[in-house]
Amino acid sequence: MNGGNSKRIEVRAPMSGIFYRKPAPDQPPFVEVGDRVKKRQVLALLETMKVFQKVRSPSDGRIVEIIAQNESPVRDNDPLFVIEED
C-alpha cells in the first residue's frame, strides 16, 4: 500500500436526513475511524421521511474521519465520512 499517494475522498449525504452510525440503538456502529472498508460496504443509515437508506462506501479504503454526528440531521451533500482510498 502506498500511503503517500493515496487519495482522500469525502462521502457526502445523498439528500437531507437523519444520520445513524448504528443499525439499531443497541448495536455497535457500522464502522469506526481506522476501519478498512470495501466498496459498497454499508457505513451508516440515513433516515428521510421515515424511509431508511444505506450509505455505502464508494471504494475500498480506510475510514480516516467521521464528520457527521450520530442521530443528527444532515443536509443534502453534507460531508459524512472521509475515506483514504487504497
Q: How far is the CB of 81 from another protein (least distance, A)?
A: 18
For another protein, give the closer residue by CB, 15 or 33: 15
5 phi, psi to nearest 5 deg: -105, 5
User: CB atoms < 10 A from the CB of 83, how many?
Assistant: 24
Least Cβ distance, residue 44 to another protein (angstroms): 13
Q: Which is nearer to another protein, 1 or 24 (CB)?
A: 24
Q: Which is nearer to another protein, 9 or 18 (CB)?
A: 18
